[in-house]
Amino acid sequence: MPRKYNTVTPTSSQLGIITADELESASILSGDADDDKTRDTPRDPNDFQNYAVNILQVEDAEIQELHVEHAPTKPSSPWKKTCEMPRSVLLIFTNFLIMLVIATLCVVFIYQKSKVGIGESCSTDSDCNSYVGLMCTAGKCSCSSVQFWNGRRCVSQRTFNRSCTSSSQCDSLVQLTCRNITIASYTDSLCWCSDSQYWRGGKCTDLKTFNETCSSSSECDFNDYLTCINGRCDCNSTQFWNYGYCENKRLYGGQCFSTYWCNNATAGLQCSTQLPTAG
């Protein structure tokens, strides 16, 4: 809310006879000595003019009424306190925490070092160094069945198509073993399924045999030379299924049990109980 103040400013003719103290008094706010209620009540300019002439003895003066806008101030809360800590105390406290952490780590390290390492005898899991993942299995400290020892600690076994140096590094739960696999003329040791299996659904699955349904040739038993033809594991057109594997079809004069065994590249070739002839 704007407040009204009255000030008196001497004219240039009075400046020579008014002292500095009188000049300061001439600019006294009219409401300074009053209570809050009086401060907010406008003064009569005539009353202030009489004050200026009779008290300050200023005869030739300009009376000005000023309106000053006071921004509202929010009272400070008596409960608002500032928590401060001397820097020296803070430094001591920080150093104490650092030393406490270091001491804890040292105790844990010394305690674990006193325990049994990989391949050493044990009676319970608590005898083995659990910090590196060891557990007591069959009287020896070793990694769990889904982990292997990498020279420093137990780590998770590797999945399909990951590099390896031994089968212990491969996930045995899904029947992976470490094998030399050639891909695009490059041979590498990889975690792979056995020759009688293929990788599907996150595990090794047995290869499919003759006439079983398939979606790709990788599902068919390549050891028996089967490929996926029209959704079935079958021999290619130059072979026949000889009850266990695909075999090349027989040429003229070859032994057969059905015309299916004969090479149809030769026109009219068929299986006969007599000496076969080309028709």
Q: pLDDT at position 118, please?
A: 84
Handedness of CA 199, 201, 202, 203 (dihedral sign): negative
Task: For 151-176, write each residue's pLDDT tens digit.
Answer: 889 999 999 999 999 998 999 889 99
Which contiguous run of DSSP H or E holds residue 13? Answer: none
Plot region of 50 (φ>0 → left; ψ -120 to 50 → alpha; else → beta): alpha
pLDDT tens-digit series, residues 130-149:
888 999 998 999 998 889 99
Phi, psi of 144 (to 5 degrees): -70, 175
In 202-223, which positions are buried (b, 16+ CB within 10 angstroms) versus exposed (e)?
eebeebbebebebeeeebbbee
Question: Residue length, the chain?
Answer: 279
Distance, CA of 254 to chain centre? 67
CA 265 from centroid of its chain's CA atoms:
62
pTM of the predicted structure, to 2 decimals: 0.47
**What type of residue sits at position 243?**
Y
- Please state, in angstroms and rounded to a whole number, the distance separating the CA atoms of residues 181 and 178: 9
Helix, strand, or coil (residue 253): coil
Range among 99-113, 116-130, 177-191, 246-260 with highest mean pLDDT value: 177-191
Alpha carbon distance 186, 188 (integer Å): 7
Residue 49, H or E segment: helix 45-50
For residue 223, how far is the Cα from the chain centroid?
44
Contact (CB, 8 A) for 167 and 195: no
